Chains A and B, each alone.
Chain A
């Protein structure tokens, strides 16, 4: 899914570890690093919202956030590697970085493509007030 709404990569990479797939996968140079172990820097003006970095990060530490999806909502894309997969239109429980349930959210998109190498990208429509808290969803069971 690629839309033209302005958004940004949110990189939550807290430590200096040797790792740079985010840099190599970004075709516009929106992510740079001063050496293999430096923390990545995001240059918003260059980001076209392709979300390749979200899928490529081995630490699953990059999210794509559209602050103003509509008047009251933001949209967040995160990497997801569990089964069963959510479906577009499904309502799921959006959670915090600690897995605490924060809101019910509609699944806007589920992206799966060969170049993501089995990492799926899930995009949720979330309350704008929680855009800095929500980073994941509660995993689904077979019954969901």
Chain B
């Protein structure tokens, strides 16, 4: 059995943020990640990040991953890769598969930072080779140097759909069309403008209604949607394509949080069912913190800041002292709040507020 003070599950931006802050306050910190490489989704991001300089604005995602890992390493954080958390054992320890070997980990606090998974979209032909999630195409292009296809139809105009369309064009593919079911582009306008100027057509109020091909996608049929999101007969267009990518939203990975008995809530704006948390990132289970996309899908900067907040509070709750605990927490909350300011983030901000109010009820009185 491995013993530690703070166990962090997930070495993406949230997990690394938590590890850095917890270790800085002197907590014995162990991070586990099921992948063979740390950094979560950061190391697949090759575009420059937004935010402010404290949020690594202007730095490319994979460069941020390198910086965070170096910082964690410098603080003595141990990261076990190829180590998958399987669940909670009766004695309260966390069961993991470490390089294929079963292990259990005992910790005083557990920070869950396992992220989210991509949603699927079902339409006739969706199981054909060549239909996959946008994230899969992104990983293979940006990390492994393999372009999954040459002629792409992208479904979804959120930031993932827009950014991956741009990145695959950088990789040499031709994005024939991006379709979005609702009447407006849902991601950042600047991301949409980048692909528009590259000649990629964006069809709002459209979706893919069929993928055709024998052993592989050969063409995509797109159609316009009415106000009830039903395909309008007669508007079908056939687009020659060998790849159809699905970018229709992310969904928090809540399995571990459920095993820990964390209370859940449904918030469609942030991806679906997720664990409630207070403004210190505590779930309804005082031993367990949640942060990052698993606690509501936002983006990498927010994940990093939520992780920092969770790491600080977890360490403080174990008696680790800083010069001024209250100031440290407020500073972390302010940094997080600044990422949710502005008109464009209104819905996200209000949703998070509602979640935190629910989380607070478990610690009231």
Chains A and B touch (C-beta atoms under 8 A apart): yes
Could you tell me which A residues sit within 8 Å of B by CB distance? 12-21, 24-25, 35-38, 56, 58-61, 81-83, 95-99, 117-119, 135-136, 138-139
Closest Cβ of chain A to B69, distance in Å, is 19
Q: Which secondary structure dominates chain A's binding surface?
A: loop
Least CB separation from A12: chain B residue = B193
Least CB separation from B338: chain A residue = A36
Closest Cβ of chain A to B255, distance in Å, is 31
Instruction: Assess whether A16 is in contact with B344, with CB atoms less than 8 Å apart.
Output: yes
Instruction: Assess whether A17 is in contact with B170, with CB atoms less than 8 Å apart.
Output: no
With A12-B193, A35-B341 known to touch, is A58 a contact of B198 (CB < 8 Å)?
no
Q: How far is the CA of A38 from the CA of B341 in the complex (A)?
A: 9
Name 22 interchain pairs, CB-CB below 8 A, sorted by A: A13-B190, A14-B189, A14-B190, A15-B189, A16-B343, A17-B188, A17-B345, A18-B340, A20-B52, A20-B57, A21-B48, A21-B57, A24-B53, A36-B52, A37-B338, A59-B191, A61-B193, A82-B170, A95-B199, A135-B197, A139-B169, A139-B198
Contacting residue for B190 out of A38, A60, A96, CB 8 A? A60
With A58-B47, A58-B49 known to touch, is A17 a contact of B344 (CB < 8 Å)?
yes
Known: A16-B342, A17-B345, A58-B48; 7 extra A-B contacts, CB below 8 A, are A24-B52, A59-B193, A60-B194, A61-B190, A97-B197, A99-B198, A99-B200
The answer to whether the Cβ of B182 comes within 8 Å of any Cβ in the partner chain is no
Q: Choose among A59, A83, A119 the residue with the greatest number of B CB atoms under 10 Å from its CB.
A: A59
The answer to whether the Cβ of B320 comes within 8 Å of any Cβ in the partner chain is no
Least CB separation from A96: chain B residue = B197
Instruction: Assess whether B190 is in contact with A138, with CB atoms less than 8 Å apart.
Output: no
Least CB separation from A58: chain B residue = B48
Provide the residues of chain A in CB contact with B287, threshold 8 Å.
Answer: none
Q: Encode B338-360 as 1/0 by CB contact (under 8 A) with A.
A: 11111111000000000000000
Q: Encode B20-47 as 1/0 by CB contact (under 8 A) with A.
A: 0000000000000000000000000001
Q: How far is the CA of A81 from the CA of B57 in the complex (A)?
A: 18
Q: How far is the CA of A119 from the CA of B48 in the complex (A)?
A: 10
Q: How far is the CA of A81 from the CA of B172 in the complex (A)?
A: 12
Q: How far is the CA of A22 from the CA of B305 in the complex (A)?
A: 22
Least CB separation from B194: chain A residue = A60
Q: How far is the CA of A19 from the CA of B53 in the complex (A)?
A: 9
Q: How far is the CA of A19 from the CA of B52 in the complex (A)?
A: 6
Closest Cβ of chain B to A13, distance in Å, is 7
Closest Cβ of chain A to B201, distance in Å, is 9
Instruction: Assess whether B188 is in contact with A59, with CB atoms less than 8 Å apart.
Output: yes
Contacting residue for A136 out of B48, B50, B197, CB 8 A? B197
With A58-B58, A82-B170 known to touch, is A18 a contact of B48 (CB < 8 Å)?
no
Least CB separation from B172: chain A residue = A83
Q: Encode B286-321 as 1/0 by CB contact (under 8 A) with A.
A: 000000000000000100000000000000000000
Provide the residues of chain A in CB contact with B194, threshold 8 Å.
Answer: 59-60
Closest Cβ of chain A to B59, distance in Å, is 8
Closest Cβ of chain B to A100, distance in Å, is 8
The answer to whether the Cβ of B51 comes within 8 Å of any Cβ in the partner chain is yes
The answer to whether the Cβ of B67 comes within 8 Å of any Cβ in the partner chain is no
Q: How far is the CA of A38 from the CA of B58 in the complex (A)?
A: 17
Instruction: Assess whether A19 is in contact with B57, with CB atoms less than 8 Å apart.
Output: yes
Provide the residues of chain A in CB contact with B52, threshold 8 Å.
Answer: 18-20, 24, 36
Interface positions of B from 39 to 83, Cβ below 8 Å from A: 47-53, 55, 57-60
